Structure 1
């Protein structure tokens, strides 16, 4: 395994860890807090970094964009929207928005898992 691939795997796995901590700690608290947003942003940064590294590897190997690339792009865009929406919810400080935000978080997290597992299964064939 080359260094770029190891780095990509580590950063994408860190994205899973950070995003999972953010989503489930926010769900447990039943109220969005600044710490949750920080975990969402850390997950987004790690996922974007890992995905960028993986795209360089794929281009070098002449891989096509495919379902993994499409679902990965959707997941990153959703994570970005989720983080921005979290910041808006925090700033508005609306009780109902605070209480219901975790429902959106879990949906984004579940969608994010799709490209994560697709990539993991694709990697098993390498």
Structure 2
């Protein structure tokens, strides 16, 4: 495995940790907090960085099934982060997050974790 790919793998694991803290924090508190916004935003930055590293380090086309799964998962998490930021901008920290947004966050996060696990399994198989 190329060094840039190993760096990408480390960074994507940090994104997993950051996303997990944000998603479970939101589910527990039912409100948006500064830490939830911070961890989601950090997760997106880490995820984009990891994706770039893995594209650079890969000898395969970036348009594999796993690649498309990963890009779609990143897109879902980006949409979730934008929607949560919009909710915060319009409602602040005082209002409970709507159930629909909670469900979307869980679906996006679950899809992202599936992409993470499939990537890990593909590396172990090689």
Which interval holds the TM-score relative to the shorter structure?
A: 0.7 to 0.9
- CA shift, 1:63, in A, is 4.1
**How do 1:50-69 residues align onto structure 2 when only pairs under 5 Å count?**
50-58=50-58, 61-63=59-61, 65-69=63-67
Find the aligned partners of 1:18 and 1:62 in 2 and give their Cα distance. 28
**How do 1:1-126 residues align onto structure 2 when only pairs under 5 Å count?**
1-58=1-58, 61-63=59-61, 65-93=63-91, 95=95, 98-100=97-99, 101-126=101-126
Instruction: Report the number of matched residues.
Output: 123
Find the aligned partners of 2:36 and 2:62 in 1 and give their Cα distance. 35
- Calculate the aligned-residue CA RMSD, in Å: 1.7
- CA shift, 1:64, in A, is 5.7
User: Normalised by the size of structure 1, how large is the TM-score?
Assistant: 0.88
Gap regions ≥5 residues in structure 1: none
Pair 1:49–1:64, CA change in 2 (3 A) = closer
Query: Contact between 1:31 and 1:99, CA under 8 Å: does it hold in 2?
Result: no
Q: Which runs of 4+ in 1 moved over 4 A?
A: none
Gap regions ≥5 residues in structure 2: none
